[in-house]
A and B are shown apart, each in its own frame.
Chain A
Amino acid sequence: MSYKADASGPAGRIKQVKATPQARRRIRWLPYALALPIVLYEVALIVYPIAQGILGSFQQIELASTRAPKWIGLDNYTRMLNDPDFWQVMQTTLIFTALVIIVAIGAGLATALLFNYPFRFRSIARAMLMLPWAFPEVPVVMIFIWILSPQFGVVNILARMIPGVNENPQWLQVPWLAMGWVVLIASWKAFPFYSLVILAALQSVPQEIYEAAKVDGASPLQLFWRITVPSISTTLELLVVLASIFSFKQFTIIYLMTGGGPSGATETIVMRIFNTAFRFYDYSYATALGVAGFIVSLVIAFFFIILQTRRAQENG
C-alpha cells in the first residue's frame, strides 16, 4: 500500500489520518531491527558469559591447558552446600545488605522529610547533599581510609570524646567496627540518591490534602501516618528493592576498605567470589558461588519488576 499516494489530495489526507490513527505503524520490522543490535550486544557480553559461568560450574576449569574441560557434575554444589564458610558468607551478605538498606533509606527518608520544610539556604544545602552520591567510589574509599587511620585519622578526635576510649581504635581491625564502617560508608554514598527520590515523592503530594486534614483537626502525627506514609509507600518499596540490588552488588568499597577482613567479618558473597577466583585461582568453585549469587539477584530483580509493573498500572 502506498500511503503517500493516498494522502496526496487534501480530502484523501484527512480521510487517511482518520482511518489509521496510528499512522506511524508503517515498517513492521523496524522496531525489531532497532532492538536487535542491543539485544545481541547484551547477550554477547552479559547473557552468554553468565551461561558460560553456569556451564563452568559443572566443569573443572583449567585455564592453562587446552584439553577439553572435565565434567564434574554437582561436585561444586555439594561442596558449596556443605561448606560452613559459604553459609557464613551468605549470613554476612544478608547482614550487610539489610544494614545498608536500613541506614541508607532511613537517612534518606529523614533528610527528605527535613528538606521538605522550607528554610533558608535550602537549595544550597540540597546541592551539598548530593555530593557524596556524585563522588566516585575509589576516591571515597581513599578519603575514609585516611579519616580512619588509627595514627592520624580525624575521626579519632570524635571517638576520644566517648568516655573510656583512651587510645585511637584500630577501626578496620575489629570485626564489628569494620562491618560498621563499611555499612556507614556505603550508606553515606547512597543515601542522597534515596533522599532525592523520596523528596520528589513527598513534593508530589497535593498540599490541599494536608490543609483539609488540618481543618478537620488532624494532629501532625496523624498527618504523617495517614497522608505522608501512604503517599510515598510505593516509592519506598521500590527503593528498598533498588537498595538491596545496589548493596548486594557492592564490591569496590568493601574490597578497598577491608578486602573482606578482618578474618572474614565483611566478606560478602561478591567478595568471596572474587577472592575464590582471583586470590585462590579456584575458578570452577567461584563460578558455582556465582550461580548462587545469580539466583539471589534474580529473586531481587523479580521483586523489582513486580513493583514496577504495579506502579506503572497505578500511574495509568
Chain B
Amino acid sequence: MTNNAFSVSTTPKKFKLGQTLRTIVLYGAVTAVSLITIFPIYWMLVSTFQPSKYTLHYPPPLFPQEITFYQFAELFANHPIARWLRNSFLIATMAMLVCLALSVVGAYALSSLRWKGRSLFGLFLLVTQMLPEILILIPIYIIYRRLNLLDSIPSLSLVDAAFALPICIWILKGVFDTVPPEVLDAAVVDGCTEMSVLWRIVLPLSTPGLVAVAVVSFFSAWNEFLFAVILLASAQFQPASVGLTTLKATGFTPVEQYMAAGLIFSILPVLFYLVMQRYIISGLTAGAVKG
C-alpha cells in the first residue's frame, strides 16, 4: 500500500526531471551547433570592423573593442578591388545570360515534352555535372592557347556557364514540373504551339525558378576560382575571387582590410543563396530531394 503510493508520487516528478534534463541538453546542443557555424563568420566581422592594433595581439579580445570604417576606404585606395569586382561582375553576368537562355529550353525539353532521348539527355546532364573541373582545365587551357582565347573574360564565362548549366536545368525542370499538364494540354487544344506554351504559360508561372537559375549561374561564376586563376593570366582581367588571394600575406595587407575585402566579396552571394536555398538544393541533388 505505501509502496504503491510512493511510486505514484515519484513518477510525475521523475518525468519532470527527465524533461528538464532533455531541455538543457537540447538547448546546449543547439548553442554548440550555432557557435560552430557562426563563430568563424563572427570572427570575420570582428576582424573587419576592429582596428588591427587589437587583433594583432595574443590572445585577441573576443569582443570588439572599437569599431571603425576607414579600412573600407583604404582598401579601395590601396588595392584594385573596384576593378576586381567589375571583372567578376562581367564574367558572372555573361555566364548568367548563357545559362538562362539554354536552361529554359533544356528544362522544357526535360520536363514538359515526351520524347525518346529524354532520359538519355538527363543522364548526359548528370554525368557532366559530376566531372571535376580539373579534368577540363588542362585540355581547355591547351585548346584556348591554340585558339588564342586565353586571357579573355568571355572565354572564361563560357566555361563557367558549362559547369553551372546542368544544375540550372535541374532547378528549372523541378519548377516546370509543378505546372499541371492539363493546363498545357488545354493551351495546345486552344491553338497554342508548343513554343508559345513555353513563352506564354510555363515561363510566367516559373518566375522564382528563373530567379534561382540567375542566382546560381551568376554566383557560381562570381565565386569560381580554379578556371579564373589559370585562364586569366593578366592582372587587368583578374576577378575578385583571384584578386582576394593576392592579399593573402597578412604582413602586407592590414588584417582589417583583408577581412573587409572578403566581406565585400561575400555579401551578395550569401544573401542570394540564403533566399533561394530551396531551389538551389533541389538542383544540386538533381531534383531527387525537395529541400
A256's nearest neighbour on chain B, judged by CB, is B245
- Asked whether, in the complex, the Cβ of A242 is within 8 Å of the Cβ of B284, the reply is yes
Q: Which of A151-196 contact B (CB under 8 A)?
A: 151-152, 154, 156-157, 168, 188, 192-193, 196
Whether a CB of chain B sits under 8 angstroms from the CB of A286 is yes
- Asked whether, in the complex, the Cβ of B142 is within 8 Å of the Cβ of A293, the reply is no
- Asked whether, in the complex, the Cβ of A127 is within 8 Å of the Cβ of B274, the reply is yes
- Which of the listed residues B124, B137, B195 has the most CB atoms from chain A within 10 Å of its own CB? B137
CA distance A117 to B255 in the complex (A): 40
Whether a CB of chain A sits under 8 angstroms from the CB of B133 is yes
- Asked whether, in the complex, the Cβ of B36 is within 8 Å of the Cβ of A188, the reply is yes
- Asked whether, in the complex, the Cβ of B41 is within 8 Å of the Cβ of A135, the reply is yes
Whether a CB of chain A sits under 8 angstroms from the CB of B207 is no
- Asked whether, in the complex, the Cβ of B130 is within 8 Å of the Cβ of A297, the reply is yes
- Asked whether, in the complex, the Cβ of A248 is within 8 Å of the Cβ of B126, the reply is no
Out of B117, B158, B162, name the residue touching A31 (CB < 8 Å). Answer: B117
- Asked whether, in the complex, the Cβ of A136 is within 8 Å of the Cβ of B185, the reply is no
- Which of the listed residues A35, A56, A145, A156 has the most CB atoms from chain B within 10 Å of its own CB? A35
Out of A56, A193, A249, A311, name the residue touching B132 (CB < 8 Å). Answer: A249
> How many residues in B have their beta carbons less than 8 Å from beta carbons of A?
105
Out of B37, B43, B106, B123, name the residue touching A131 (CB < 8 Å). Answer: B37
Out of B112, B133, B165, B191, name the residue touching A249 (CB < 8 Å). Answer: B133
- Asked whether, in the complex, the Cβ of A45 is within 8 Å of the Cβ of B113, the reply is no
Out of B27, B123, B162, B277, name the residue touching A134 (CB < 8 Å). Answer: B277
CA distance A243 to B106 in the complex (A): 26
Whether a CB of chain A sits under 8 angstroms from the CB of B262 is yes
A-chain residues with CB within 8 Å of residue B258 when the two chains form the complex:
142, 146
Encoded as 1 (CB less than 8 Å from any A CB) or 0, chain B from 82 to 113 comes to 00000000000000001000100110111011
Whether a CB of chain A sits under 8 angstroms from the CB of B57 is yes
- Asked whether, in the complex, the Cβ of A154 is within 8 Å of the Cβ of B62, the reply is yes
A-chain residues with CB within 8 Å of residue B109 when the two chains form the complex:
31, 34-35
CA distance A152 to B254 in the complex (A): 13
Known: A154-B60, A305-B123. A136 touches B30 (CB 8 A): no
Distance from B23 Cβ to chain A, minimum over Cβ atoms (Å): 8
Encoded as 1 (CB less than 8 Å from any A CB) or 0, chain B from 133 to 164 comes to 11111111111010000000000001101110
Binding site for B on A (CB under 8 A): 4, 7, 13, 16-17, 22-28, 30-32, 34-35, 37-39, 41-42, 45-47, 49-50, 52-53, 56, 61, 63, 111, 114, 117, 119, 121, 125, 127-140, 142-147, 149, 151-152, 154, 156-157, 168, 188, 192-193, 196-197, 200-201, 235, 238, 242, 245, 248-249, 251-252, 255-256, 270, 273-274, 277-278, 283, 286-287, 290, 293-294, 297-298, 300-301, 304-305, 308, 311-312
Binding site for A on B (CB under 8 A): 26-27, 29-30, 33-34, 36-38, 40-41, 43-44, 47, 55-60, 62, 98, 102, 105-106, 108-110, 112-115, 117-118, 121, 123-128, 130-143, 145, 158-159, 161-163, 165-166, 169, 184-185, 188-189, 191, 193-195, 197, 219, 222-223, 225-226, 230, 241, 244-245, 248, 250, 255, 258-259, 261-263, 265-266, 269-270, 273-274, 277, 281, 284-286, 288-291
Question: Given contacts A46-B131, A142-B259, A142-B261, could you give 15 more A-B pairs where the C-beta distance is less than 8 Å?
Answer: A17-B189, A30-B194, A46-B128, A136-B219, A138-B244, A138-B265, A142-B44, A142-B258, A143-B41, A146-B258, A146-B259, A152-B57, A273-B138, A274-B137, A277-B138
Supply 29 A–B pairs (Cβ within 8 Å), ascending by A: A13-B189, A17-B189, A23-B188, A27-B193, A31-B114, A31-B117, A34-B109, A35-B105, A39-B124, A41-B102, A42-B125, A45-B136, A49-B143, A50-B139, A56-B138, A125-B34, A132-B37, A135-B270, A138-B244, A149-B250, A192-B37, A196-B291, A197-B289, A200-B291, A235-B289, A249-B132, A270-B132, A274-B134, A308-B288
Closest 6 CB pairs of A and B: A139-B262, A49-B139, A134-B273, A45-B162, A31-B115, A136-B223
